[in-house]
Amino acid sequence: KAGVTQTPRYLIKTRGQQVTLSCSPISGHRSVSWYQQTPGQGLQFLFEYFSETQRNKGNFPGRFSGRQFSNSRSEMNVSTLELGDSALYLCASSFRWDRGYEQYFGPGTRLTVT
Amino acid sequence: GENVEQHPSTLSVQEGDSAVIKCTYSDSASNYFPWYKQELGKGPQLIIDIRSNVGEKKDQRIAVTLNKTAKHFSLHITETQPEDSAVYFCAASMGGNAGNMLTFGGGTRLMVKP
């Protein structure tokens, strides 16, 4: 079974621009969560989607948004990029959302904001 | 919200020795505790997990123990090998309305010297 895939793997953007990252979950998984990983803050939860609905949201500004499509693929968008948004963005998929199920991570998208 | 503390931040062992990483959590509602291994340039890989109704779980050279009363859980790796060198993260999840949201510890860099 193929794992979680994320595209693109690397991205360089300029302050003020916006960016869209994509995640395809493991086949059959309907929950997709997004995390931000930085050396200073570690791994932090951004949001979780299940059946095209946002189920939970972490403590991030409104510039961070996401969506999920009917095939469970998910995208996250960051608008008006800031230097502090430079991070590894990780997507994780799970079979369900309501119980704390096993989550499997993709390789991440490395975003650099200059 | 939940807070997870992880110790030590770095751990150096000789090949063949055992390694122990400890985590504490703050919210007694947490009921699912996974451990992830992250190698350079890769996303976190789920290596073992434990639920609050279980005190210990083993998988070959890896074991996890949970003490609900004290709110701490530990990862034990026996007969360490150089390929065990990586950053290890503990995490906690409450399930229910919190869904699959994971709160991560700060990570432990394990170095296994040949």
pLDDT tens column, A74-99: 999 999 999 999 999 999 999 887 76
B46 contacts A104? CB cut-off 8 A = yes
Asked if B12 and B109 count as a contact pair (C-beta separation under 8 A), the reply is: no
- Per-residue pLDDT band for A101 (boundaries 50, 70, 90) equals confident
- Partner residue opposite B32 with nearest CB, options A31, A90, A100: A100
Distance of CA A7 to the CA centre of its chain: 11
Distance in angstroms (rounded) separating the CA atoms of residues B57 and A16: 48
Chain B hits for A44, Cβ within 8 Å: 104
Distance of CA B52 to the CA centre of its chain: 14
- Partner residue opposite A105 with nearest CB, options B44, B97, B107: B44
pLDDT along chain B (114 residues), means of 10: 96 98 96 96 96 92 96 98 98 86 97 96
What pLDDT, on the 0 to 100 scale, is given for residue B2? 92
Residue B95 phi/psi, 5-degree rounding, is 65, -155
**% chain A with pLDDT above 70:** 96
B99 contacts A103? CB cut-off 8 A = no
Minimum Cα–Cα distance from B92: chain A residue: A100
Chain B hits for A58, Cβ within 8 Å: 101
Distance of CA B110 to the CA centre of its chain: 12
Please check whether residue B31 touches A, CB under 8 A: yes
Distance in angstroms (rounded) separating the CA atoms of residues A82 and B34: 32
Chain B hits for A21, Cβ within 8 Å: none
Mean pLDDT score, A101-105: 91
The residue written with tokens 């995640």 in the block is A23
B49 contacts A31? CB cut-off 8 A = no
**DSSP one-letter string for B59-105:** ETTEEEEEETTTTEEEEEE-S--GGG-EEEEEEEB--GGGTT--EE-
Chain A residues with CB within 8 Å of chain B CB: 4, 31, 33, 35, 42-45, 48, 50, 55-56, 58, 90, 92, 94, 97-108
Asked if B61 and B76 count as a contact pair (C-beta separation under 8 A), the reply is: no
pLDDT tens column, A67-80: 999 999 999 999 99
